[in-house]
Structure 1
């Protein structure tokens, strides 16, 4: 019974991750794009799929990756997520530097750009906070509060950024992926709040 449940969970995650990538791969818009632009776009798609795994790993919901193993993998996936976002932005910079500059300065005429930039800076801030956690001597509750707040900014910003873009990602699979990321993140946030409340009463 446990094995069947584990297989079902992993199969569902693989489907949630694989379908948006497969749908984007079949997009007719790819025929009109440069290789660098395509690579940048798929790096962004990969980043969005990694964001689905992150809360599941942090919450210990994936079979075989319970705490503390799940949290260790969570940190590694966070590093891969950083690389994916950097690749996404770098590719866009190569293909159109003025558009990237406008986005970074929040003067881009496309609304999705600002949401993406906010999510990007929140992701960088999360990585910096994690790297400096010991030096800053953050307590567990302070760390959870800061990390969770930044994670919410990343999820909301990335989801709106992806949904507003009319590009290679297929609409239904894109919206479904964003919704799953939001639901998974919300569940972890709720669980952490419950844990903090119980801890404070001891």
Structure 2
């Protein structure tokens, strides 16, 4: 609730604005106000993770609404998982990254071979882009290493076909963070966190990825 009776409420403490909003809303099947909890942030975050929800928003008592500005008074705490994945290729970058790769094509081993689990397009800086490309170019190969062809999975790329994939020998293991593992076995919103030099690609198993997600949600 930002305005009421022609008066701006943006400087009013969050708890007072919520109280005003509650006095105006008659709960029904169509309209509800969102409940909040004071002092139970860790428990709520754990409950969100257990239900595989996106996360929670923590707002400091007494804080005001600041249009167009980020503030440490309001924090979005996302549910994330981490996993090790095998780099099996990269896709060509566009616009500001046209001279490097757009995303890493990654997978994990199952009984059928290297299973494609997603495209990692965030988490890089200029240095990591250059470093990764210098490692991947020398191990390019004509054959795709994945058991399935990522080019046929258009839904992974906003309905667009994967452009100009470059396949590589599956040598490097990357650590990624992601929001969830979908029912199709794809990583949702994966982000690159670095390379692993203490694990071999052949030891990265899809079953272990599934188990790690399941245990964090238990």
TM-score, normalized by the shorter chain, greater than 0.5: no
Structure holding more strand per residue: 2
Higher helix share: 1
Shorter-chain-normalised TM-score: which range?
under 0.3
CA radius of gyration, larger in: 2
Larger relative contact order (CA 8 Å, sep ≥ 6) = 1
Normalising by structure 1, we get a TM-score of 0.24
